Amino acid sequence: MTAVLELQEETTAAATGWHRVCPVAELEPAWGEAALIAGRQVALFRTASDEVYAVSQEDPATGAHVMARGIIGSRGDRPTIASPLHKEVYDLVTGECFGNAELNLPTFNARIVDGHIEVEL
């Protein structure tokens, strides 16, 4: 698997903003990958329960494009990603930072359709 997944195919319904990125089988559970989607760097994550999440690849605290290398975890029933640089922990659904209310990680809707991950930008 390459560090940056290449966008394989965009959905025909471009007006909706959904982009087909890759087969879900190409993402290992609990491991992030970066994808370039319509010119935007996005970090993709697949959890052990086969849920998929998409967030900005840019670390809100530093501006470095590293979030795909973060550590997957949870706070209660909320899935989280910890930045690999300063270990700030973000909610994968809302982008809320648990340790610093001034930081927010942009999130994107993600879904699995016909075995492929699609992301809405």
* pLDDT, tens only, 46-55: 988 889 999 9
Average pLDDT over every residue of 72-78: 95
pTM of the model: 0.86
What CATH number does residue 110 fall under? 2.102.10.10
| Domains contained in the chain, number | 1
Burial, 32: exposed, middle or buried (Cβ in 10 Å; 0-12, 13-18, 19+)? Answer: buried
Q: Residue 111: its pLDDT value, please?
A: 97
pLDDT tens-digit profile of 89-113?
999 999 999 999 999 999 999 999 9
Sheet holding 18-23, edge to edge: 4-5, 32-37, 40-46, 52-56, 107-113, 116-120, 18-23, 9-10
Length of the chain: 121
The model's confidence at residue 16, banded by pLDDT at 50, 70 and 90, is low
DSSP secondary structure code for residue 6 in this structure: P
Backbone angles phi, psi at 69, to 5 degrees: -95, 10
| Containing structural domain, residue 9 | 4-120
